[in-house]
């Protein structure tokens, strides 16, 4: 039985999305999350990477998407855990407190453990991932491993044994960079499109300033089909946020699977060298 596929962006409170994605003149009571939820069916909470969510803020977000029954959130686990390796029980409880409103209302699809690019598959790192799994056992977990060593059979076996989903990434090519795949290690599958700008896959901000062409997105069609057929839920997140490009590509992905609604009524600047792509993106996000 085919699982659900949801497309969304990583975050929504990007300052350079004003005028590009959101209206220049905002109506009274405007909220970017509420606006974005009209066109997409998920969003990845990116602010949780830097600091724990406040429960009252999570409840506010739930109210903003209350009219969207099928809308889900995912959230990024704090860098204090994945990057700084702090497993203080009080910090874990504090982080969970901000997630409970989402989890208890079945609006949290999963929690993403986003590890740094230098996080290789070693015994020490394997054991640490297992520790994190136990610390956050109440939540569906997905791991973003950008180093190719995590595609080894032993590494994938560890994720399978502990029911941790593998986050398939699209990133700039480079030595030991995880290639684009359709790897399944748990009932939930996750894909993040990080952008392909630059030649160094370790430079996140540089990579994110990239607009995927329809042909490049089409390269993911077969992979996404495989993921959605063999898992209960597939989340596809565009993280190429610079200039609102993630919103363009998220809408294009929805349209690719025949799940698109009305296009976002704004124009997002496209990358200038590809005229055909510029025309298609501007049609998709035509001004109303």
Domain limits at 117?
4-284
Q: Mean pLDDT, to the nearest integer, of 227-249?
A: 96
pLDDT band at 263 (very low <50, low <70, confident <90, very high): low
Q: Mean pLDDT, to the nearest integer, of 257-263?
A: 64
Number of domain units in the chain: 1
pLDDT at 148 over 90: yes
- How much of the chain, in percent, has pLDDT values that exceed 70? 89
pLDDT at 278 over 60: no
pLDDT in tens, 185-203: 999 999 999 999 877 767 7
Kindly list the distances between the CA atom of residue 15 and the CA atoms of 19, 32, 79, 149, 244, in Å, as whole numbers in the listed order.
Answer: 10, 11, 22, 36, 10
Decide if 128 contacts 85 (C-beta within 8 A).
yes
Q: What is the pLDDT of residue 274?
A: 44
Q: What is the pLDDT of residue 281?
A: 40
CATH number of residue 191's parent domain:
3.20.20.410
């Amino acid at each position: 039985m085919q699982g659900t596929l949801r497309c969304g962006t990583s975050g929504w409170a990007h300052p350079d999305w004003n005028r590009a994605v959101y209206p220049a003149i905002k109506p009274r009571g405007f909220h970017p999350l509420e606006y974005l939820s009209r066109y997409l069916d998920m969003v990845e909470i990116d602010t949780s990477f830097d600091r724990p969510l406040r429960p009252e803020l999570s409840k506010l977000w739930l109210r903003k998407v209350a009219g969207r029954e099928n809308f889900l959130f995912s959230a990024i686990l704090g860098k204090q855990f994945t990057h700084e390796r702090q497993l203080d029980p009080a910090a874990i409880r504090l982080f969970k407190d901000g997630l409970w409103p989402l989890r208890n209302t079945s609006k949290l699809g999963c929690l993403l453990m986003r590890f740094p690019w230098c996080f290789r598959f070693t015994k020490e790192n394997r054991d640490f991932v297992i520790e994190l799994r136990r610390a956050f056992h109440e939540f569906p977990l997905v791991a973003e491993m950008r180093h190719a060593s995590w595609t080894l059979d032993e590494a994938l076996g560890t994720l399978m044994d502990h029911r941790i989903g593998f986050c398939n990434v699209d990133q700039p090519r480079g030595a030991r960079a995880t290639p684009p795949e359709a790897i399944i290690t748990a009932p939930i599958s996750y894909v993040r499109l990080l952008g392909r700008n630059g030649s160094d896959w370790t430079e996140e901000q540089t990579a994110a300033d990239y607009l995927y062409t329809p042909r490049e997105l089409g390269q993911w069609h077969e992979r996404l089909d495989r993921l959605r057929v063999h898992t209960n839920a597939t989340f596809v997140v565009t993280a190429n946020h610079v200039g609102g490009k993630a919103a363009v590509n998220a809408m294009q992905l929805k349209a690719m699977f025949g799940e698109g609604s009305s296009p976002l009524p704004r124009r997002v600047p496209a990358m200038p060298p590809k005229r055909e792509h510029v025309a298609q993106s501007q049609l998709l996000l035509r001004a109303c």
